[in-house]
Homo-oligomer: A and B are copies of this chain.
Amino acid sequence: MTTTQLVQQIKKKKSFLCIGLDVDLNKIPKHLLKEDDPIFAFNKAIIDATNHLCVAYKPNTAFYEAYGIKGWQALEKTINYLNEKHPEIFTIADAKRGDIGNTSTMYAKAFFEDLAFDSVTVAPYMGKDSVEPFLAFENKHTILLALTSNQGAFDFQTKNIEGKEVYKHVLETSKSWKNSENLMYVVGATKAEFLADIRKIIPNSFLLVPGVGAQGGNLQDVCKYGMSDTIGLLINSSRGIIYASNDTDFVEAAAKKSEELQKQMEAILS
């Protein structure tokens, strides 16, 4: 999917909501555990109830890998279901990968070809030759970790290198990489006050913003400081939506929470 198509979807749906599919078998409604594939059953129910309210889904691969082969099968079924039923939806493999060149190419093949996601999250620590192999895939997007939503972001990301924080070096340096037009960035909603500075470095790039809701980030602040001329934001909510209820009404509860966020986004967009 191109970013132009993503922007069209945002305008059509009046939403820039991304729903995180982080399925923990200890948290989903008990009645689903009887299903052959409880993880996929849960995802399918959530997708069926919320796809008109969001523009992206983001499974975090950790939650699938923790269940081994069955988990990986559930991830494959989920991305196939999305690509078949809702090809207009932007899909994000939240995998936070990154390795030396030939190895990053294998990760890129895993997520862009074998699983056919539109995008994958990548960690920047290993530098240019660990990220460029992902950028080489046409109409696929590499979402680079810049400033994450957790407390540990202050351990290294905000440390000062020659007058500028590490995450700003990541933003600036990455702009010079080959096919950098395929870059998007992760910036946590818990650090909304940093967004104005970030937009000075990358005025147009899409930002994937986790941390609204459960982690305490504020939607209005994120939009005030982070919105670009072409919107440029995907706001993620995971637990706040998918675990809004852990009972038989989980589908309705997830749709209600999604609609609340979509309505706030509609008001901001208009």
A interface residues (Cβ-Cβ under 8 A, vs B):
22, 24, 60, 62-63, 65-69, 71-73, 76, 94, 96-101, 103-104, 106-107, 109-110, 114-115, 123-131, 145, 148-157, 159-162, 166, 169-170, 173
Contact = CB atoms under 8 A, between A and B. Distances in A.
Contact of A101 (B72, B99, B150, B166): B150
8 contacts: A62-B107, A66-B107, A69-B73, A72-B72, A127-B150, A128-B152, A130-B150, A159-B162
Contact of A96 (B60, B123, B157, B162): B123
* 3 residue pairs, one from A and one from B, having the closest CB atoms: A127-B152, A127-B155, A65-B110
Contacts of A67: 114
Given A128-B151, A156-B125, A115 B76 contact: no
A98 to B, nearest CB: 6
B161 A169 contact: no
B68 A69 contact: no
A153 B71 CA distance: 33
Contact of A128 (B63, B71, B131, B155): B155
A154 B128 CA distance: 9
Contacts of A22: 103
